[in-house]
Every structure is written in C-alpha cells, then in structure tokens.
Amino acid sequence: MKFVRIVCIALFTAVLGSCGNELVEAPVKQENQLSFRLSKSSDSMGDDNALDAGNGGHLAYKILFYKADKADDTPSISNDDPINYENFYLVKEVEGWKSYEGFVDFQFSIKNENLEDYIYQLVVIATTKIKHEIDFELGFEHDGKSLLSELKVKRMYESVNGEQVLIPLSKDNYICSRQITQADINSGEVELKLQRMVGQLIFDIGKYSENGPVVLDTEYGSTLDRVYNITFSIHNFTESFAWFGKGESVASSTKKISEETENTAIVEKCSYSLSKYFSDNSDYKMDWNKMPTLLNGEYGIIVDSHLSASPTINHGATRIYGPYEFSSSSGNLQMEMNFEYYDTDISPLIEKSLILRLPKANSKITVVPNFYTYSKIKIRENRIIDVPVDFGDLRFDNEWKNDYYEE
C-alpha cells in the first residue's frame, strides 16, 4: 500500500482590492491564475502514474478552505511555518462533492491583501463517487468559528433490510492539506499530496515448526483447504477521527491521528466466499491457479506463495486480504474469524465452523493509515481446520508493513 501523491494544478486567482467575501469562486479567467494537473506516483496496488479522468474519475472530491491569522512578526509564510491546526478556522466550504472534472476545473480568487494578513489552508477529502464510503463533520463552532483541529472524518452507514449497516471501506479514501502561499501564486503551481486514510488487515495462515515456515505436505493445496467462507466480526473499530491534531503544527513531518472515536455498540461484519478457489476435482482443495495473479488493493481475496507480493508470502502459507479500517491505535480492536468449512471425513458431507478470536493474550492489533497490519497465524498442522479447538498451539505475530516510496 502506498502513499499516493497527487499534484494538482488548479485555477486560483489573486485579486487586488477588498470586499466582504475574501474567497470567491471565479469562473472567468483573471490575472495571477494557477492551474492544477493531477498525477500520483505508482504503487503496488496497480495504480497508474497519471491521475486523469480515466483513473481519477471514480473519486468524488470535497474542498474546504481554512485560514489563520498571521502573526505580526511573520513577514512571509511557507509550508514549513509552525502554525498549529487549532489556529485555523473555516472560511469556505465549497458546495457539494466535485467530480474529477469539476475539481480540476474549479476556480476561485483570493485577494493579495488577505494573503498579507492570513495563512490559508486548503483541505481536500476524496472517496469513491458511486457510493460514498466516508463523510466529514465540521465540529462545534467556537465564537462562531469552526476549527480545523475539530474537522472529523467518519464512516457511513446504509440501510439493508431495515438495519443500518456499515459501508465497507476500500483503499480509495484520501485526504490532503496544503497552505496557499504567495510563492504558489507566483509560481503558478500548487502541489497537493493525497494521503490514504485507511489501513488494511492481512493475514498469513502458514504451517510452522520451531525452526520457521514449513512447506505443506504434498496432499494439501492450502492451509485453507475445505474452507468455503470466512467472516470477520470486528469489535471496537474506529468510527471517526480528527486528522489534524490539537497542538500539532502544519509543518509536522509525522502525521498524528487524534481523537479516535471507537464504536463499542456495533460489530462490523465482513464475509468473504472462498468456494470460487476450489479445484475442479470435487476435493475442496484450494487451487492456486484460480487465485489472483495481480493485486489492485482488493479485499476478501486469498493468494499464496505463487504470487510475488509484498510482504513476501512464505511457502506453506495462504494470505487473506481482509477489510480496510480507519486508524486504531488504542489496542482495543478485537475480532473473530469464523472459518466455515466442509467436513469430508463424514458421509454425507456436512458443514462445520470454527472461530479464532484475535488478538491472542499479550498481543494487540492496531491499524495505521497507509500500512498493512500484517498478522502471521502460525499453525503446526497443514490446515487451519485441523488445529485444536482451543487453538492452544497457535502462534500469532503482528507487523506493520508499508511498501511505498516517496520520490
């Protein structure tokens, strides 16, 4: 999973003079305009370098403008100035969500005199266009001002058979922020970096001995042989969070998530069918030839060591690409993995299930934006369905992997 860079060249207009509305949408050409062009660095999920209407058109974009008073002893500003997020307050929310075309064609004006008095911060939130997976909340006003430090991003629900159900998150949920400076206006270009707001849970179920990973016995196709469905039940997931932390500078090199709000009342259910991976021999073994050969940020799929993936999949292991989640740093995240499988040792065939509860004792599961939460489930048997019912000999290791690079 990679940090996604979007370089935008949008139309900004700096206008001399003063009037009541300091931020004005400017649909006609004016002097000192900046234009945006969108691109992003390629990543392991198969994204292209160029972000155009073809591969950026599936996103919807929300534009928010904030400003902070410039201190008297700050003659000029840059993106390295240590201005705290709680000093910025909302000055304009652009109506609705923009399509790709609406975003790149958007124009507005800022008066030069306002650039002398204020520091402006542009915030862009992006999610999938057909079905929005996230929304935002401006927070309470303080003296009539909505602060950037209280801007929250939150999960969305939909009604299914009269019940409110969480909309699953995909990889395509991003946020970026950028100060608008006089230097930007002079150069005619503003670079925006969209950062992924979600992390993905992935699990490698592999056979291990005391000395490390072990190749499966020849009569087995996968540690998930006979498993036709896996359901994740996730407890204490993060329902909303503030991205711009109180006391944090806009120049901070490390982005901290603040004020994570967990939902302890609702259990998120994610159910993935695996029967499509069974071989055609009616033996309910997994056939690696039916597994994906390329990855593009999917969830609910399995792969094995025949696929060159990062992190590397050990021989004898099968990987499950599970759900995407918001940041969860508290260590309160818990889940059950319900493996439904066919018991072919009994005639006629019957369906059974076993439930693995995670994390194990003395460990925890956390989620970091733009990282995989990479969990190794180490078993001594060839199949997960053959482990003892109490999972007594199972070992569980966690790592956090990020395979992006920034140019």
How does pLDDT run across 113-144, given as a tens digit for each residue?
A: 677 788 888 899 999 999 999 999 997 777 78
- H or E segment to which residue 392 belongs: none
Q: Between residues 223 and 27, which one has the greater pLDDT?
A: 223
The answer to whether residue 394 scores a pLDDT higher than 70 is: no
- Closest listed residue to residue 357, CA positions, set 384, 331, 334, 336: 336
Q: Over pLDDT 70: what percentage of the chain?
A: 74
- Give the predicted TM-score (pTM) of the model: 0.85
The answer to whether residue 406 scores a pLDDT higher than 90 is: no
pLDDT at 231: 97
Domain tally for the chain?
2
The DSSP letter of residue 360 is: P
Same domain, 235 and 188: no
The answer to whether residue 333 scores a pLDDT higher than 90 is: yes
Which of 173, 196, 219 marks a domain boundary? 196
Q: Between residues 167 and 108, which one has the greater pLDDT?
A: 167
Same domain, 338 and 355: yes
CA distance 257 to 163: 30
CA distance 262 to 327: 10
pLDDT at 17: 29
Q: How far is CA 97 from CA 102, 124, 210, in A?
A: 9, 10, 54
Q: Domain for residue 4, yes or no? A: no
Same domain, 20 and 157: yes
Same domain, 73 and 167: yes
Structural domain boundaries, residue 19: 11-196
pLDDT at 8: 35
Q: Domain for residue 406, yes or no? A: no
pLDDT at 28: 44
**Paired tokens of 341:** 């499988």
The DSSP letter of residue 300 is: S
Q: Domain for residue 2, yes or no? A: no
CA distance 122 to 119: 10
> Mean of the pLDDT values across residues 63-92?
73
CA distance 285 to 279: 6
- Closest listed residue to residue 311, CA positions, set 368, 384, 373: 373
Query: Computed from CA positions of residues 39, 193, 237, 366, in that sequence, does the dihedral angle turn out positive or negative?
Result: positive
| 195, 166 Cβ separation under 8 angstroms | no
The answer to whether residue 252 scores a pLDDT higher than 70 is: no
Same domain, 145 and 159: yes
CA distance 391 to 399: 21
Q: HSE (CB half, 13 Å, CA atoms) of 272?
A: 20
* Minimum mean pLDDT range among 1-10, 317-326, 340-349, 390-399: 1-10
Question: Which SS3 state, helix, strand or coil, does residue 261 take?
Answer: strand
CA distance 126 to 63: 9
Q: Give 147-193 pLDDT, tens digit per residue.
A: 998 899 999 999 989 888 999 999 999 888 888 777 777 776 667 77
Same domain, 156 and 268: no
Q: Domain for residue 180, yes or no? A: yes
Please name the residues in contact with 17: beta carbons below 8 A apart, sequence gap of 6 or more.
111, 113
Which of 162, 196, 230 marks a domain boundary? 196
Same domain, 246 and 293: yes
User: Phi and psi of 92, rounded to 5°?
Assistant: -160, 130
The answer to whether residue 82 scores a pLDDT higher than 70 is: no
User: Phi and psi of 56, rounded to 5°?
Assistant: -115, -5
Which of 171, 196, 221 marks a domain boundary? 196
The answer to whether residue 39 scores a pLDDT higher than 70 is: no
The DSSP letter of residue 16 is: -
pLDDT at 240: 92
Same domain, 181 and 81: yes
The answer to whether residue 301 scores a pLDDT higher than 90 is: yes
Q: Other C-beta atoms within 10 Å of 391: how many?
A: 18
Q: Between residues 28 and 104, which one has the greater pLDDT?
A: 104
The answer to whether residue 246 scores a pLDDT higher than 70 is: no
| 290, 276 Cβ separation under 8 angstroms | yes
CA distance 367 to 329: 6
The answer to whether residue 355 scores a pLDDT higher than 60 is: yes
Give CA angle at 62 (58, 66), nearest 5°.
Answer: 155
pLDDT at 274: 97
pLDDT at 310: 85
Average pLDDT, the chain: 79
Which band of pLDDT confidence, cut at 50, 70 and 90, is reported for residue 86? confident
Same domain, 301 and 182: no
The DSSP letter of residue 405 is: -
pLDDT at 73: 53
| 266, 166 Cβ separation under 8 angstroms | yes
Question: Which SS3 state, helix, strand or coil, does residue 271 take?
Answer: strand
Same domain, 134 and 211: no
Same domain, 235 and 126: no
Same domain, 185 and 214: no
